[in-house]
Amino acid sequence: MSENQWKNIGKSILSSTSNKTRKEISIPTEKENIIVIGTDIHDESFWTQMMFIAAATYRIKSGMRAADNNVIAIVPYGYTNLEIGVLETYKKEFKFELVTIKNSAQLISLLNRNRDRVKIQDLYLYTHGTPGEINFNMGGSPKITITKHSLANISEKSFSVNGIIHSFACRTGMKLSIALLNKSKFNNDAEAKPDESLAMQMAKYFHVQVNAFLTRTFYRHVLRDYQLDSKIEQELKSLRKKNGDNSVYNLFNEYEALPHKGISDGITNFGARKAGTDNYVLWPIHGGRCRPSSASTPKGLSKGVKIFTPDGTWS
């Protein structure tokens, strides 16, 4: 190699040495949508057991922003294989990856997975919550939560530039405070201190928009038309009397009653046993009927989704 040829090495516009006009290479990243479904061990009822799964299926049916990969992650505690198996249909039809989350480490691992090349576009959270905490296993063990303190374990660069977190846990938009936790009536939204809420903390930390409620979340209508409750009870009770307690029962071609031993069969569940809904859970055959909405409690807080942004504002 001649001296002149040798001197030209390293003078490319891509050179990382002395060339001040070099170009930066933009590496394209993929996008991923994630739905996380929590448990309902906290309630354990014929009417509520499947509410988080139903909400997730409604979202899937309704459509999501186009992504390179879609993930359904479910915390399996308290669910039967039959109940989790409902998601297999959606996995095949809508081409979702289905994973189980058994502890906080696995949740964090999912949210951190390959984030140098795959960014989270939409993160949907269907689970229980209290101010300052999104709880995926409320009333159960191990504890699986997202809090202000656990955010540090998740890469702040996990999300795409247009990423959105959609929390359908109760009161994600309210500040963590014992006084606020037990307060049943507010004069205005500002009293809930949304600017100090977990929703705002996530927006600032991940540099994304967060959609959340100030109020509790209303899931009842996601599973059923509650005006039909008495008819559902009567039909199930009649079918069980004729055919026993181990079958899956079709109710009016709209719902299924899935056997689940141990649900609502304790000493305090006399009402469920009398109604014939003990040891069963309700599932809408066509999946979730609608999305969860904001409830009317605590009183005095406005209903509807609030939008929290990285600049510290909300509306």
Instruction: Give dist(CA 289, CA 236) in Å, integer.
Output: 20
Domain match, 208 and 91 both:
yes
Judge whether 129 and 171 are in contact, CB under 8 Å.
Answer: yes
Judge whether 110 and 83 are in contact, CB under 8 Å.
Answer: no
Domain extent, residue 244, equals 225-284
Of 315, 312, 290, give the one whose Cα is nearest residue 304: 315
| pLDDT for residue 267 | 63
| pLDDT for residue 14 | 47
User: What residue has token string 């605590």?
Assistant: 298
The verdict on residue 167 lying in a domain is yes
Sheet strands side by side (includes 280-284): 249-251, 255-259, 280-284
- Mean pLDDT, residues 48-59 taken together: 98
What whole-number percentage of the chain has pLDDT above 70? 90
Instruction: Give dist(CA 136, CA 167) in Å, integer.
Output: 12
C-alpha angle 277-281-285 in degrees, rounded to nearest 5: 120
| 13 has a pLDDT exceeding 90 | no
- The tens digit of pLDDT for each residue in 56-72 reads 999 999 999 999 999 99
| 15 has a pLDDT exceeding 80 | no
* Number of CB atoms found within 10 A of residue 301's CB: 26
Judge whether 304 and 209 are in contact, CB under 8 Å.
Answer: no
| pLDDT for residue 111 | 99
Domain match, 210 and 232 both:
no
Of 166, 167, 172, give the one whose Cα is nearest residue 131: 172
Say which CATH number the domain at 175 has. 3.40.50
Domain match, 235 and 97 both:
no
Domain match, 63 and 146 both:
yes
Judge whether 288 and 55 are in contact, CB under 8 Å.
Answer: yes
Domain match, 203 and 260 both:
no
Judge whether 24 and 60 are in contact, CB under 8 Å.
Answer: no
| 28 has a pLDDT exceeding 80 | no
Domain match, 253 and 214 both:
no
- The tens digit of pLDDT for each residue in 160-182 reads 999 999 999 999 999 999 999 99
Dihedral sign (CA 155, 156, 162, 163)? positive
pLDDT bin (cut points 50, 70, 90) of residue 269 is confident
- The tens digit of pLDDT for each residue in 291-314 reads 999 999 999 999 999 999 999 999
The verdict on residue 27 lying in a domain is no
The verdict on residue 2 lying in a domain is no
Chain centroid to Cα 66, Å, comes to 18
The verdict on residue 314 lying in a domain is no
Domain match, 62 and 92 both:
yes
Domain match, 158 and 280 both:
no
The verdict on residue 164 lying in a domain is yes
Domain match, 173 and 256 both:
no
Domain match, 166 and 205 both:
yes
- The tens digit of pLDDT for each residue in 93-142 reads 999 999 999 999 999 999 999 999 999 999 999 999 999 999 999 999 99
The verdict on residue 255 lying in a domain is yes
Mean pLDDT of the chain: 93
Give the 3-state DSSP-derived string for 101-166, with helices as H, strands as E and coil as C. Answer: CCCHHHHHHHHHCCCCCEEEEEEEEECEEECCEEECCCCCCCCCEEECCHHHHCCCCCEEEEEEEE
| pLDDT for residue 9 | 46
Instruction: Give dist(CA 233, CA 276) in Å, integer.
Output: 6
The verdict on residue 47 lying in a domain is yes
Domain match, 81 and 187 both:
yes
Tell me how far CA of residue 159 lies from CA of 15, 68, 165, 251, in angstroms: 30, 14, 9, 42
Judge whether 298 and 186 are in contact, CB under 8 Å.
Answer: yes
Q: How many domains does the chain have?
A: 2
224: left (phi over 0), alpha (psi -120 to 50) or beta: beta
The verdict on residue 129 lying in a domain is yes
Domain match, 90 and 141 both:
yes
